[in-house]
Structure 1
Amino acid sequence: METRTVLILQNTNLIFTVEWEEPEQAASMAAVPIGSIIDVHGISLTETDDEGKFSALRVMLPTSDSIRILHKPDWLTPQRLLIGLTVACSLLILIVSWTFMVSQRNSALKSLICEREKAQIQLQNAHDMLEERVKERTAQLKFQITARKESELQSKAVLGERTRLAQELHDTLEQTLTGIALQLDTAAKLFNRSPESAIRHLELARNLMSQSQVEVRRSVWDLRCRALEQFDLPGALQRSARQFSYGTGIEIEVETKGQVRPLPEVVEENLLRMGQEALTNVIKHSSAHLATIELEFGAEQVILQIRDDGQGFTPENSAGAEAGHFGLLGMSERAKRLDGQVVLTSAPGKGTTVRVAIPLGPVQELPSLVPTETQMQS
């Protein structure tokens, strides 16, 4: 079977056909795009009507090579232009629809915003009224809380004063009574063998009793004036060591290091009481032969250390406040009030060391009360 390929061509005002018969359709004929300008060579067949006028033209191609494409049509064809216009119209319709829908949503949103603004105004008015009521209630609660705090502060002040008085009595009266008891025991032992020595111990006990009276008056009425006394902490420690250890057979050395200078009254007072408490424990419990008191004035802290060569003990097994022993507890509380710390080191047969560290402000140029480093024995 043969295939006939027919092309419809136009030349100016003439429309004619180009035909070619072949066993199979040529690829070159099928590839000719519509609207192309081509060059055709072949056999021309014309037809005339009864009047002899030209009516039709047919061109028969001998081969497929008789047709040659001179110029392909432009990309913008009527079909493509129609498709573009269709797409543009569709997009325009879509945009108009979207704009209309957005305008409707905006109108609904504006209406909703107006309603919310009205609700917000009402809510603000209610909030203002509530805030006024809260302020009134807060003022009432503040008054009640202030009254309660004042009551609590008064209660705490009473408890704090009771604790302070308990510590003061323990660190003054109890220590002095311990020294008096030791002197009286020594005087009783020496009365038959050496009455003169016994009288000296009785005199020392009487001096301790007078000192105890002064301490009690000061604790009760707080009439002591430190500025007039020109308090000397190293000298006070030395005097306490001499009085407490007299006749006990314990040698006590007092050492002072660093730039000796006046300390705040509360620091000096608490260091003296803690030193006296440590000396009392050494005399009563340590069975020591030698005790050393070191007072070191540092740039930012003052350190008081009491060390003995006694029998020592295990700190974890020592008796505390529950057994009626308040000495170590009182020392810790005193140091804590001054932002300091107390470190106790002891072991059976290796003696005991009590180290108290109290922070101070920066060093100022002050005249020294005693030489930079002294060693005194009693």
Structure 2
Amino acid sequence: MIAIRLPALSWLAVLGSSLVCAMAFGVETPLRTALEVRSLSPEEAEKELPVALQGTVIFVDPRGSVLVQDKTAGTFFRGSDVMSLRVGDEVGVRGVTSPGMYLPGIQKATFEKLGHGEMPPAAPVSYADLLSGRYHYQRVAAEGIVQSVTASGDGDHTILHLAMDQDLLEVDVYAPPKERHLLVDSRVRIEGLAAGTINHRRQLLQPILWLQDWSWLKVLNAAPPVQDVPTISASKLLAFRVVGQNGHRVRVAGTVVAAFSDGTVFIRDEATALGLQLHPPMPLSAGTRIEAVGFPKIQRFGASLVNTRLIEQEPGPEPTAIEASLTDLLNGAHDNDLVAVTATLSGSFRAEEGQVLVLQEGGITFRVMAPLLEHEPPVGTRVRVTGICQVDSIKMTPSGIQSVPRTVSLRCRSADDVAVLNSPSWWTVRRLALVVGVLLFAMGLAGLWITVLRRQVRRQTTALRWRIEREAAHDERQRIAREFHDTLEQGLTGLLLRLEAVQAHGVNERGDHLLRASRGLVSQMQVETRSLVSELRVPSQENADLVAALQAIVDEHPLGCGPVLKLEARAPMPPLPSRTVHHLRMIAREGVTNALKHARAANIRLALGLEGSRLRMTIADDGQGFDSEALHGGQRGHFGCIGIEERCAKFGGIALWRSAPGQGTTLEIELTLETSAAAAHGHTAKHLLLHS
């Protein structure tokens, strides 16, 4: 052994460092193996280090990547014209490194086809090996039982699910489906490319095997015929057997208690319930008796069947739900079964799958997943919910051997499974406190307001009493004057006209003197009796006849004396309140009297008309007329117009005079009636009331 002095070692170290620096600043040495490429960190791969390696094509990805494997490992490259390569081609690849989504590869690649050879041997792997990522983008071999064969959405490749013990591996075959039902339940050996789905953190979420075609799959044990699949009860599913579980399909039979659109079906086999996942999904009705084959799998708390295929179905009566308490649900005996629970609603919210109801009973809280309800019950409502009981989480007993449910939930079949028994009282503690507070506040305001009102009432009582007494006396004086003018004075005027008529026929001197004295006496009585009052009223009956009242005025007019007085009623008049008829009669008498006294008319016409809900009374003469504006203001000793307006105000009527010297006078009274219709024996009767 040659001894090397310390100074010599120092020189060797300096020389080595110089060589390294020269390599760093000079031409870089390309990476020669796939292991060197995939050993780079993402940061190093981003530097686009040169690569020059040789390997065998093990997979051609239709999306533009080629997977190669040499004696060390596997990697991928992308470049132009890569789709011309075939599996088994020996190639020399040059390019630069790329970080890739999960492991580094080669980009900007050029390749040279060196020949065609055998594929590298496939490494036997377990599901855990694939999940670790150590064989990613390398040829591997896996064995298991095919549970399902499905065509992809585009139909270009096929998706298999391979059961490897308790794990389910997805296998993508880049070829159309083949022998779909014959492969199910077969034990196969698959040689393919290890791949998987990746997230944005460069983490492997799920391992997948890629197969270029069906030649990479070999059937070791063909699936037994469906008729040979053994039938097992739900209670015996995945229970202990001396020979253990073989992972193949089993046959079950039962009555459908619930079926959902996603293919989930629940059946009841005697006293045990079981969940099935149909593949593909198909509609089923509750009560249907079915037989199906599927693969057993533990889900949540109990066994179920996945990738289930329906064999037979026969309609039957709809099963009844088991009445259960929350304590019964927590013992696990009703898992996957149709149950009915009565509880109190403590809350609800909407989720992506529908509406979630939170129920509470006996200190136990559980959730109900239901479709969207048209009317959401308020909190505190007592409800009866029917649905499939499902264990959401489990816990261990103190012995550490047995598992029991920790929480359960119900899955309703439809909105009809939620029945409201009774709604909560509107009165809650919070609302009661709020109402009491509002009442106390209102009482305080009321007390303050009463105090203020009392002071104000004391101040205004004297003034109001004096004002009321004065207005009452004024109204009474106006009423007396109106009644006098329309009754007593009209009678005296009629008497005076009769005296004049007698005198006009001629009498002796003594009689003429007596008539002149009588006329003077009547005139004096007209003046004196204006200060006297006597209230004349129509008997207080509910309704009165206006036409009859006006006809009485016409009948009082003597025939052959003075102008001709006629009454025209153009439509049947409805019964009117007696007070209204009284006022209209007095207005008509006043109008006729004015025509007799002042108009010198030859004809006086009383007319009644009804237009819809409006009643119109007209008093017209062909006399000398007058200035309506001057007389309307009231002359000394003449208050006819004012009295007519006051009477109209009593029943809501309107008085209108139309007159001019030499053109006669027309007085129109118009009032609005309220109409009510009543039907009797097919006829309509109208009851018209005064509109106030």
Give yes or no for the alignment of 1:327 onto 2:655. Answer: no
Shift of 1:307: 1.3
SS in 2 for 1:321: coil
Aligned AA (2:621) = D
Which protein is richer in strand relative to its size? 2
Tell me the secondary structure at the aligned position of residue 620 of structure 2: strand
Q: Which amino acid aligns with 1:252?
A: L
CA-CA distance at 1:235 after TM superposition: 3.7
For residues 197 and 259 of structure 1, what CA distance do their matches in structure 2 show? 47
Superposition pairs for residues 13-24 of structure 1, below 5 Å?
Answer: 16-18=23-25
- The 1:174/1:139 distance shift into structure 2, 3 A limit, reads same
Does residue 472 of structure 2 align to residue 153 of structure 1? no
Q: 1:256 to 1:195 in 2, by over 3 A?
A: farther
- Corresponding residue for residue 305 of structure 1: 618
Structure 2 residue identity aligned to 1:339:
G
Report the Cα distance in structure 2 between the residues aligned to 1:126 and 1:351, rounded to whole angstroms.
70
Deviations 1:165-203 (Å, cap 9, x if unpaired)? 111122223333333344444545555479999999999
Determine whether 1:251 maps to 2:258. Answer: no
Structure 1 position 129, deviation (Å) = 7.9
Aligned residues: 262
Aligned position for 1:23: none
Q: CA deviation at 1:222?
A: 5.5
Confirm or deny that 1:135 pairs with 2:472: no
- Displacement of 1:354 in angstroms is 1.3
Task: State the Cα distance separating 1:138 from its structure 2 match.
Answer: 2.3
Task: Map Cα deviations across residues 290-347 of structure 1 (whole Å, 9 max, x no partner).
Answer: 1112245788565432111122344335452255532112112211211122222223
Identify the residue that residue 557 of structure 2 maps to in structure 1: 241
The equivalent of 1:293 in structure 2 is: 606
Under a length normalisation based on structure 1, what TM-score does the superposition of the two structures give? Answer: 0.51
Q: Give the Cα–Cα distance (whole angstroms) in 2 for the partners of residues 133 and 284 of structure 1.
A: 65
SS in 2 for 1:293: strand
Conserved 8 A contact 1:343-1:355: yes
- The Cα of 1:163 is off from its aligned counterpart by 0.8
The 1:131–1:321 alpha-carbon spacing in structure 2 relative to 1, beyond 3 Å, is same
Q: Given residue 620 of structure 2, which amino acid in structure 1 is its aligned partner?
A: R
What letter matches 2:667 in structure 1?
V
Equivalent in the alignment of 1:343: 656
Which residue matches 2:586? Answer: 273
Mapped partners of 2:643, 2:588: distance in 1? 12
Contact 2:483 2:536 in 1 (8 A): no
- Give the partner amino acid of 2:96: L
The residue that corresponds to 2:161 in the other structure is none
Is 2:476 the partner of 1:166? no
Question: What is the match of residue 534 of structure 2?
Answer: 220
Cα separation, partners in 2 of 1:138 and 1:225, compared to 1, 3 Å: closer
Give % identity. Answer: 23
CA distance in 2, matches of 1:215, 1:179: 16
Contact 2:622 2:664 (C-alpha < 8 Å) held by counterparts: yes
361 and 208 in structure 1: CA distance in 2 versus 1, 3 angstrom threshold? farther
Distance 2:620 2:95 in 1: 122
Show the 5 A alignment for 1:67-146: 70-71=96-97, 132-145=447-460
Q: Matched residues in 1 for 2:569 and 2:511: separation? A: 34
Corresponding residue SS for 2:475: helix
Q: Which amino acid aligns with 2:648?
A: A
User: Contact 1:188–1:198 at 8 Å: present in 2 too?
Assistant: no
Cα 1:278/1:126, change in 2 over 3 Å: closer
Query: Any gaps of 5 or more consecutive residues in structure 2?
Result: 1-16, 28-44, 53-93, 102-439, 680-692
Q: Distance in 2 between matches of 1:17 and 1:262?
A: 123
Shift of 1:36: 3.5
> Which of 265, 282, 294 in structure 1 is aligned with 2:595?
282
SS in 2 for 1:312: coil
Q: Residues 215 and 300 of structure 1: is their aligned pair in 2 closer, same or farther, counting only changes over 3 Å? A: farther
SS, match of residue 487 in structure 2: helix
Shift of 1:275: 1.3
Q: Quick check: 1:183–1:204 contact (8 Å CA) kept in 2?
A: no
| CA offsets 1:136-172 (integer angstroms, 9 cap, x no match) | 2323323544554444333322211111111112222
Contact 2:503–2:515, Cα closer than 8 Å, also in 1: no
Structure 1 residues 71 and 260: alpha-carbon distance in aligned structure 2, compared to 1, 3 A threshold: closer
1:178 aligns with 2:493: yes
Rounded Cα–Cα distance in structure 2 between residues aligned with 1:19 and 1:171: 136
SS of the aligned residue for 2:23 comes to: strand
Contact 1:180 1:209 in 2 (8 A): no
SS of the residue 2:662 aligns to = coil
The structure 2 residue matched to 1:38, chosen from 50, 54, 65, is 50
Distance 1:341 1:236, change over 3 A: same
Residues 1:271 and 1:201: Cα distance change in structure 2 (over 3 Å): farther
Residues 195 and 299 of structure 1, relative CA distance in 2, 3 Å threshold? farther
* 1:349 alignment partner, SS class: coil
Mapped to 1, the partners of 2:522 and 2:635 lie a distance apart of 33
Letter in 2 for 1:164: R
Q: Whole-Å Cα distance in 1 between the matches of residues 550 and 443 of structure 2?
A: 68
Query: Against the structure 1 CA distance between its residues 304 and 195, is the aligned structure 2 distance closer, same or farther, given a 3 Å change threshold?
Result: farther
Relative distance call for 1:144 and 1:241 in structure 2 (3 A) is: farther
The 3 A distance-change label for structure 1 pair 126 and 281 is: closer
Distance of 2:528 and 2:612 partners within structure 1 = 37
Alpha carbons of structure 1 residues 164 and 246: separation in structure 2 relative to 1, 3 Å:
farther
Partner AA of 1:38 in structure 2: P
- SS of the equivalent of 2:605 reads strand
The 8 Å contact of residues 614 and 671 in structure 2, kept in 1 or not, is answered as: yes
- Whether the 8 Å CA contact 1:294–1:304 is kept in 2: the answer is yes
- Provide the secondary structure at the position in 1 that maps to 2:552: helix
TM-score under structure 2 length normalisation: 0.30
Deviations 1:80-139 (A, max 9, x none): xxxxxxxxxxxxxxxxxxxxxxxxxxxxxxxxxxxxxxxxxxxxx999988755532323
One-letter amino acid matched to 1:234: L
Q: Which runs of 5+ in 1 are unaligned?
A: 1-9, 21-32, 41-67, 76-124, 366-378
Change (3 A) 1:195 1:71: farther
Q: Which amino acid aligns with 1:141?
A: Q
Q: Is the 8 Å Cα contact of residues 616 and 668 (structure 2) preserved in structure 1?
A: yes
Q: Are 2:484 and 2:534, in contact at CA under 8 Å, matched by a contact in 1? A: no
Distance across 2 between alignment mates of 1:202 and 1:246: 24
Shift of 1:278: 0.7
Residue by residue, what CA displacement relative to the aligned partner does 1:215-234 show, whole Å, maximum 9, x if unpaired?
Answer: 999x536587567xx99413
Q: For CA contacts below 8 A with separation 6 or more, give which structure has more relative contact order.
A: 1
Letter of the structure 1 residue corresponding to residue 470 of structure 2: S
